[in-house]
A and B are shown apart, each in its own frame.
Chain A
Amino acid sequence: GQNIDQPTEMTATEGAIVQINCTYQTSGFNGLFWYQQHAGEAPTFLSYNVLDGLEEKGRFSSFLSRSKGYSYLLLKELQMKDSASYLCAVMDSNYQLIWGAGTKLIIKP
């Protein structure tokens, strides 16, 4: 079966750095996406990785290792507004997105 694993919840301090991990087992791989979802709102696109390595976008970076079936999202200089759920999704061989359950990130002052 297809599976995306990510931690259920993480806590971090304002101004710090946090890494959210995602491991996957899917039938085929056509890219990995990270989305941010604030409570009661829609998911919004953060990043896309299809090749191994690090993609940096401001305070957010995303890393992919296809051989390990592993990705992480790195958030730097955490702000209170970063409190949200972070969703990892893999596009499989049928070009359908398989979603993890999300990681709820709590930022403390």
Chain B
Amino acid sequence: AQSVTQPDIHITVSEGASLELRCNYSYGATPYLFWYVQSPGQGLQLLLKYFSGDTLVQGIKGFEAEFKRSQSSFNLRKPSVHWSDAAEYFCAVGLIATSGTYKYIFGTGTRLKVLA
């Protein structure tokens, strides 16, 4: 079955520390890959996306993500976290479902807490 797994429900880091949020997907081919961020009471904002080409993609707010085909992973990273990065992060894949329609499947999210 097609799925997206974010194994870490909560992550706490100190401000200035590095960050890595994990994302694994299950799909027979390479899907389109996305990371979104959701601040409290807000909708989701796109951080970055991967369609093809260079497996290391840069996004907004200093985030980057690396696609690893062999591991079916698309982990999000930031070298130095800021207090304003505290939010919930969602990994998503875009793929052709068995019904033939294009769908997005979201992970359950990782809630990031940043300590001052």
Specify whether A and B are partners.
no
Binding site for B on A (CB under 8 A): none
Binding site for A on B (CB under 8 A): none
